């Protein structure tokens, strides 16, 4: 059981290896936070982001990385592997299927080796530039 945003408690499926790692981390504890900071307090989102950034740096990844990078990679890898959009939506806890579909559409637009062009003159009025793909 996991407590999500808004205090919602959900049961999520885990790979056996992941479940064993969590059991080892929890030890004899049956409640309270699973991940603790060095000072023994609950690990917050900033501490988690720091851990991901450091791990990425140690792995030789030079692009910025954070927890959402891992989430994005998981969703994209699942879609690339042929997992149904419904199952990926459930695993990502997206209430609206359109949220998951954005990841799918992004995969189709950004084929390997193809860099999108960004046009600052054609932004959407929200400060986010429109991405232009090369003509095929």
Q: 86-128: per-residue pLDDT in tens?
A: 998 988 888 888 888 887 776 666 555 555 444 444 444 444 4
pLDDT attached to residue 112: 58
Q: State the pairing for strand pair 130-132/2-3.
A: unpaired
Q: Where are the domains of the chain?
A: 66-110
pLDDT attached to residue 45: 92
The structure's pTM equals 0.64
Q: How far is CA 18 from the centre of its chain?
A: 17
14-71 pLDDT, tens digit each: 889 999 998 998 888 888 888 889 898 999 999 999 999 999 999 999 999 999 999 9
Q: What is the dihedral of CA 101, 104, 106, 108, to 10 degrees?
A: -130
Is 3 in a helix, a strand, or coil?
Answer: strand
């Amino acid at each position: 059981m996991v407590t999500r945003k808004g205090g919602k408690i959900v049961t999520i499926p885990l790979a056996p290896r992941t479940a064993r790692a969590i059991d080892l981390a929890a030890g004899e504890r049956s409640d309270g936070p699973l991940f603790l900071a060095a000072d023994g307090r609950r690990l917050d989102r900033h501490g988690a982001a720091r851990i991901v950034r450091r791990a990425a740096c140690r792995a030789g990844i030079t692009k910025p990385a954070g927890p959402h990078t891992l989430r994005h990679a998981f969703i994209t890898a699942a879609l690339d592997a042929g997992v149904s959009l419904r199952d990926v939506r459930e695993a990502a806890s997206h209430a609206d299927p359109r949220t998951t579909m954005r990841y799918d559409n992004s995969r189709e637009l950004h084929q390997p080796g193809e860099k999108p062009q960004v046009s600052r003159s054609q932004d959407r009025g929200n400060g986010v530039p429109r991405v232009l793909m090369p003509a095929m």
